[in-house]
Each structure stands twice: as C-alpha cells, then as structure tokens.
Structure 1
Amino acid sequence: MSRANVRVRPATPEDIDALAELVHTVDPQGAGHAARQAGTSTERLCSRFADLLDRTERTLLVATDENAAVVGMLGARVDEVGTVELTPVLHVTHLLVAPRCRRRGIGRALLAAAVHLADDAAVEHVLATSAAGSREGNRYLARIGFAPLVVHRIASTAVLRRSLGMTDVAGRMAALRRARMARRDRAGFGHRAVGRGA
C-alpha cells in the first residue's frame, strides 16, 4: 500500500467490527491497561465503539487502504488542559495503526486529519495521549513534534488503600468505639443510662 492510497474518514457503524479487530491486533490483551483490567472482550469493544459513534463531542476517524479495509484509527475531542490557566486543545487518543501497515504514512494521515479538526474548532494545540509502556508510540509522537506535558499515573483505590495504610481503617474505628464504650461502662455511664430508661 502506498501513502497515496491511504484514506481518512469519520468512522461509521459499519466499521465497528473492523475497529474491534484492529484494537485486538495492536494489543492482543485488549486496548491497553484499563481494558486489560476490565477483561475487554470483542463484544464489549463493539459496544463501546457504538457508544462513541453516538456521541457528538467525540470524533472517531478511520484510515482505510486501497481495498477500503480499516488499517488505522484515531479518537479526538476538544478539551482543556491546566488547572488555573486553561488551554483549549484537541485531545487525540487511540492513535492505532495495524502492525502489518506501519511505516506507510497512516499515522501521519490520521494526525493530519486531526490538525484539520483542530483548525475547524479554532484550537491551536493538539494533545496526544499514548500508553506509558508504548516505547514505539511515544518515540513516534516525539519525532513529529509532540513534547512531554505531564505524566499521568493510575492506581486502583484498593492499591492506594494498602499503600496509604488504610486497609484496616474500618477495623481500627470499630476498636476505638469498643474501647470508648468499655471506658463508659467502667465509669458507670452505661448503667445510669439503662436505669433512666427503666
């Protein structure tokens, strides 16, 4: 496939099965860390793509080859970054290219289409999200001009509870309540309360 044969267009419901297959081809475990945690199945991916296509705030683009087969995808939405000073951006996620079709200009074609989306939205910056473990993806983005902005890290609340020593908070609170009640009983408060109610 030559670069001239790459076509980028908005995804349609007819592309859903091909998109799910593309995700599993790029990441056989299923669409990255979050999907692996959730045990993403093809059925679940298809449902998610159908949901994305129903939403107007997100744009899902596909790249097709000369046979009209889906060989790449990109998700985008207008967003803002920053806490105090907000900067409008076109947030690009899930820039995926089928492994057999890499180094043929598909990623560039998808990002060129994203630039047009940013221009249409009068947004001056494109923010690309890539998996931290994707060395190839991060190198590619750096090579075409994306600079690091922030590092996002993810942890489950269960992991944080353990790390922060919060695993036995409920048990400790119950023990403190029991100790308080025992002190009150020894001081006679418990008996007086019962006596008044009798």
Structure 2
Amino acid sequence: MRPAEPGDLPALVDLCLAARSESTMGAQLCSDDGDRLRDQLGALLASPGGQLLVGLLDGEPAGLLLGQLVGPGPFTDLVSLNLEAIYVAPRARRRGLGHALMAGALEVAELGGATEVYAAPLPGARGMQRFFVRLGFAPAAAHRVVSTSALQRRLVGETAGAQSRRASGRGLEDLIARRRQVRAAARGEAVDPGSVQDAGQRSRPAITMQVNRAVQTLRESESSTTIS
C-alpha cells in the first residue's frame, strides 16, 4: 500500500470501472466515463485533504481507497477522515490488501489529527458492510437523500401553499374589518378613514348597501321609539 501518484490514474480508473460493474448500484458508485473518472481522481489527488491510496499485488495496482480529511469547521473543532470508497479486485481478495488499505487510512487519520474515521458503504454492499463491522465501525447517523427535481417540486408546492394560506388570512382580515365598519356605522360612530382606506379599498358596492341598510334600520327603530 502507498499513496497514489499521477502515473497510477489509468490503473485506478480501471479499478473504479470494475467496482462499478460489480456493484448492483453502480450508477451511485461512480461514472462510467473513463475520462471523467480520471479527471475526478486527479482532482481528489490534488485537493487539500484529499486521500487516494493504492494497494499493490505483485507490484500492480489491485485495490484503492478514496478519502477526505474534513475539519475543523464552523460547527466543530474536530477533524475526521471520511472514506468515500474502498475496493479490492477479485484476484487480490483474501490476501490482506483491504486491511493494508485501512492501515494506510489509519496512518493518514493520525497524521492529519483526525479523531474519527467515517465510512458510508452503499446499500446492498453486504460484504463491505461486514468488513467495516469486523473493524469496529458502528452506525453513526441516518442520511437522507432527495433528487434535485423532487426537491424543486416540493419547494414549489410549499411556496404555493404558503401563498394560499397568506391570501386566506388576508381575506379573513378583510371580512373582520368590514364587519366592524358595519357595526360602527349602525351605532352612528365615525369610521376611521385609515381603516376605511386599508380595508375599504377591497370592498364592493354590496358592503356600502349593507351599511346603508343598517343605518336606516337603526334610524327607523329610534324614530318608532320616540313616537310611542
């Protein structure tokens, strides 16, 4: 095991493609475009904190480990090593190459000041799950994922719903304001011009008719009481 070098990239691309073809969820593992994979691996190799280890069998690349040192950050002072992928070709399995790659990852973690090592094997990768369990890895958190298109649909729906609720709230406020105007006019009280401007701008002629009827009813009632 040793850190990968730029000259290892073609062999590492072949290993990534082999891992993709072997996995039942290959599309989630990596791209099937060799040129794109080479660019991605090169970017990881050149990025700060990027870790790319290669496992050798008889001097030939037969396994790889991709990782990233993360932290400290805005919400934590801790540093961790996140393992993105580990793969050993079938011809090199059961020879300790996987353990050698993990020993290399441990060395990277210690040199980088990482206090924890995280791994996220793909669902359905039972062999890799068992491998990590044997090395003491335990569940740490539940990740959730959503496609960008589904998230966009949900956000549009939530926004439309919020606008509808706000419009409904404004309609209720207008109704309450109009009722207050009717009661005030029926009692012969002066109506606040500001409230009339705010709520009355949206009133209809039917509201004016309701006010006139209420005032007329009140006057008729007062007149009748005086005569008696």
Instruction: Report the TM-score, using the length of structure 2 for normalisation.
Output: 0.62
Maintained 8 Å contact 2:51/2:69? no
CA distance in 2 between counterparts of 1:82 and 1:138 reads: 28
1:11 equivalent in alignment to 2:4: yes
- Relative distance call for 1:85 and 1:50 in structure 2 (3 A) is closer
Unmatched tracts of structure 2, length 5 or more: 164-200, 205-228
Gaps of 5+ in 1: 1-7, 174-183, 188-198
Choose between structure 1 and 2 for higher RCO, CA contacts under 8 A separated by at least 6 residues: 1
Is the CA contact (8 Å cut-off) linking 1:19 and 1:70 kept in structure 2?
yes
1:69-104 CA distance string (max 9 Å, x none): 111111222214999555321222211111232222
- CA displacement, residues 81-135 of structure 1 (integer Å, 9 cap, x when unaligned): 9995553212222111112322221110000011111221232322122112312
Q: What amino acid is aligned across from residue 101 of structure 1 in structure 2? A: A
In 2, Cα distance between equivalents of 1:19 and 1:123: 26
* 1:169–1:125 CA distance, 2 compared to 1 (3 A): closer
Identity %: 31
As a proportion of its length, which structure holds more helix? 2
Instruction: Flag as ranges the 4+ runs of structure 1 deviating above 3 A.
Output: 29-32, 80-87, 164-170
C-alpha RMSD over aligned residues? 3.4
Q: 1:146 to 1:169 in 2, by over 3 A?
A: same
Q: Report what 1:48 is aligned to.
A: 40
- Aligned pairs for 1:119-198 within 5 A: 119-162=110-153, 164=154, 166=156
In 1, Cα distance between equivalents of 2:60 and 2:3: 14
Alpha-carbon distance between aligned partners in 2 of 1:31 and 1:51, rounded to the nearest angstrom: 21
Structure-2 residue corresponding to 1:62: 54
1:73–1:97 CA contact under 8 A, matched in 2:
yes
Closer/same/farther in 2, CA of residues 165 and 76 from structure 1, 3 Å limit = closer
Residue 76, structure 1, aligned to residue 71, structure 2:
no
Distance verdict in 2 for CA 1:82–1:56, change over 3 Å: closer
CA shift for structure 1 position 58 = 0.7
The amino acid across from 1:76 in the alignment is G
Structure ID, larger Rg:
2
How many angstroms apart in 1 are the aligned matches of 2:123 and 2:141? 11
| TM-score, reference length from structure 1 | 0.70
